[in-house]
């Protein structure tokens, strides 16, 4: 229940499991001591994933697949667009392909900033917040508040994996609220996922297939998952 919701109160856990709040509190204490979840005031939350694999190392995995996905995404961008770029190695590749374009890019990714900071043609808006140094991203309340003040034509959303039912997942607790805020700030949501993300892993759901307008992936991605997206009305594009 904690993994699916992110944060859960003692009362909700007691009601959902049919036990007393005191039993839940004892169990949470034990699980917290074992490092399985994080005990918080009034409930529990997931352990924040501190990304033991650095960004630079992740960037070396499935490079050809990621490049094809990024090129497919770049084809959707038009001059004058305002685009939101999520964190991730594929969105960083997309940023590189957008150099020289007369567009506005909004991002919480320092990797995207590094790709575009010397390009005077691209208008670059960087979301603030708490810096996650290992994955070069901004997170937290300030990031989410900033997203409520902007509006983008389309969001290019990354993911740690996609479930067979089409759920877009993420493995890092603090990134999920930022991703959800990005979805709320964009007219169109485009998910970028190389075929290795099918079926993928992740602790928390970001959104379902019905919230995804376009899915860009590679030939060879899991056909059952792609069928779920098409059934939800998503434009599935294979590269």
Map tokens 């959800």 to a residue: 180
The Cα 218–Cα 102 span in angstroms is: 28
pLDDT tens digit sequence for 197-218: 987 777 788 999 999 999 999 9
Q: Tell me what percent of the residues of the chain surpass a pLDDT of 70.
A: 92
pLDDT tens digit sequence for 50-98: 445 666 667 667 889 999 999 999 999 999 999 999 999 999 999 999 9
| Distances 179 to 36, 122, 217 between C-alpha atoms, Å | 24, 23, 19
Distance linking the first and last C-alpha atoms of the chain: 36
Do the Cβ atoms of 134 and 55 come closer than 8 Å? yes
Asked if residue 230 has pLDDT above 90, the reply is yes
Query: 0.75 exceeded by the pTM?
Result: yes
Between residues 191 and 58, the one the model is more confident about: 191
Q: Read off the pLDDT of each residue in 116-122 and give the average, rounded to a whole number.
A: 97
Q: What does the mean pLDDT of the chain come to?
A: 90
HSE-CB of 29 using CA atoms within 13 angstroms:
6
Asked if residue 33 has pLDDT above 80, the reply is no
Of the given ranges (74-83, 97-106, 132-141, 148-157), which has the lowest mean pLDDT? 132-141
Nearest to 143 by CA among 123, 117, 125: 125
User: What angle, rounded to 10 degrees, do the helices at 21-33 and 10-17 form?
Assistant: 110
Residues contacting 3, CB < 8 A, separation 6+: 46, 203, 204
Nearest to 139 by CA among 168, 105, 178: 178
pLDDT tier for residue 134 given thresholds of 50, 70 and 90: confident
Asked if the peptide bond before residue 222 counts as cis, ω within 30 degrees of 0, the response is no
pLDDT tens digit sequence for 100-113: 999 999 999 999 99
Strand partners of residue 9: 43
pLDDT tier for residue 48 given thresholds of 50, 70 and 90: low
Nearest to 234 by CA among 76, 226, 164, 207: 226
In the three-class reduction of DSSP (H, G, I as helix; E, B as strand; rest coil), residue 120 is classed as coil
The Cα 48–Cα 184 span in angstroms is: 23
């Amino acid at each position: 229940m904690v993994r699916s919701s992110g944060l859960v109160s003692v009362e909700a856990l007691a009601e959902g499991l049919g036990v007393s709040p005191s039993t839940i509190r004892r169990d949470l204490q034990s699980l917290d001591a074992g490092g399985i979840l994080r005990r918080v005031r009034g409930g529990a939350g997931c352990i924040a994933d501190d990304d033991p694999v650095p960004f630079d190392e992740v960037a070396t995995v499935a490079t050809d697949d990621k490049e094809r996905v990024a090129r497919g995404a770049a084809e959707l961008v038009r001059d004058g667009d305002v685009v939101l770029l999520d964190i991730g190695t594929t969105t960083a590749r997309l940023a590189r392909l957008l150099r020289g374009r007369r567009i506005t890019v909004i991002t919480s990714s320092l990797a995207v900033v590094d790709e575009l900071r010397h390009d005077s043609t691209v208008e670059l808006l960087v979301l603030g917040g708490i810096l996650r140094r290992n994955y070069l991203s901004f997170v937290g309340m300030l990031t989410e508040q900033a997203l409520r003040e902007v509006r983008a034509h389309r969001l290019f959303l990354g993911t740690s994996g996609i479930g067979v039912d089409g759920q877009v997942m993420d493995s890092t607790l603090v990134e999920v609220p930022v991703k959800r805020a990005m979805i709320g700030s964009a007219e169109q949501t485009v998910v970028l996922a190389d075929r290795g993300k099918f079926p993928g892993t992740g602790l928390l759901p970001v959104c379902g297939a019905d919230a995804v307008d376009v899915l860009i992936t590679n030939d060879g991605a899991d056909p059952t998952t792609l069928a779920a997206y098409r059934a939800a009305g998503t434009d599935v594009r294979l590269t």
